[in-house]
Amino acid sequence: MLGPYLTADDYMDSDVAYLLGMLFGRGTLFEQGDVRRLVVTLHIRRTLPKLPPDTPVLDMDLELENERSLNGVRRRINNLLDANVDIAPVRRGETALTAVFVKPTIGWRDLKALVCDGHDRADFKLPDSFFQFPRPIKEEFVRGFADVAVTPSWADNERNTYARVAFPVVHANLIFARQLERLLEALGTQPHFLEGSPRTRRGKREHRIRMRADAYEGVGFGFDHKNRLLRILADWNRQRPR
């Protein structure tokens, strides 16, 4: 595991932190024999953004915007990894970014160390040394996670006095859920932790870390269209009395 004596300049920069966040958000590291594959999947449940009442209606196709943004991400990380990076649709509303490593390169080994030898979202953990990195590194990690796992949107029910942003973590990985809460607290987003449940009618319920949209605005997303949605939600919050 990477030691606490290392600094961010030794093996971490904004691109590595962003890719790492994507992995924790919706990623997998697959290794079998000579096959090594990094896969990050983007999935959306709706194509049109759902916004609060009395806000402008946006002509925005979330699926198309996500695919466009992912192509930008591909260019960003293509030079980072000594691997072939491809993007392909998996099914309607789901697109995968895949990097294939033909050798156990130092990049592959670093990624394995940075997820504490985990394989997917259920067992990824951050090394303790990550929390010693400066704020910009933590922000890029959170943005990478948010770009692939969070969509700013309005939930239309009486409990939502304010617009919120919610970070989901699979139920099996409570350790990372608490680590993510710690990161969001350090970034000043005032998160609220909702622990999941192992037994519901629909199966296990994920952990969720929620915060007001305006509290998260200072961190934001890497995807431009998600930042547009976030600004609308944050402005809507600011117009309401506390």
Residue 7 has pLDDT above 70, yes or no: no
- 2 within a domain of the structure (yes/no): no
- pLDDT in the model for residue 186: 96
State pLDDT tens for residues 153-178. Answer: 887 665 667 888 999 999 999 999 99
Residue 105 has pLDDT above 80, yes or no: yes
Element spanning 166, H or E: strand 164-169
Query: What is the number of structural domains in the chain?
Result: 1
* Backbone φ/ψ region at 51: left (φ over 0), alpha (ψ -120 to 50), beta: beta
Residue 191 has pLDDT above 80, yes or no: yes
- pLDDT in the model for residue 189: 97
State pLDDT tens for residues 28-57. Answer: 999 888 889 999 998 877 777 788 877 777
Edge-to-edge, what's the strand order for the sheet holding 192-194?
164-169, 207-212, 192-194
- Residue 44 belongs to domain with CATH number: 3.10.28.10
Say which residues have a Cβ less than 8 Å from residue 16's Cβ, sequence separation at least 6.
80, 110, 114
Predicted TM-score (pTM) of this structure = 0.90
Max CA distance (Å), the chain: 59
State pLDDT tens for residues 133-153. Answer: 999 999 999 999 999 999 888
Most confident of 14-18, 60-64, 204-208: 14-18
Please report, for the chain, how many H helices and E strands are present, in that order.
8, 7
Q: Are 170 and 121 in contact, with CB atoms under 8 Å apart?
A: yes
- pLDDT in the model for residue 3: 45
Q: Are 81 and 37 in contact, with CB atoms under 8 Å apart?
A: no
- 177 within a domain of the structure (yes/no): yes
Q: How many CB atoms are closer than 10 A to CB 216?
A: 28
Average pLDDT over residues 171-187: 96
- 3 within a domain of the structure (yes/no): no
> Which residue, chain included where needed, has tokens 């789901």?
94
Domain span including residue 117: 8-238
- 141 within a domain of the structure (yes/no): yes
Residue 242 has pLDDT above 70, yes or no: no
- 157 within a domain of the structure (yes/no): yes
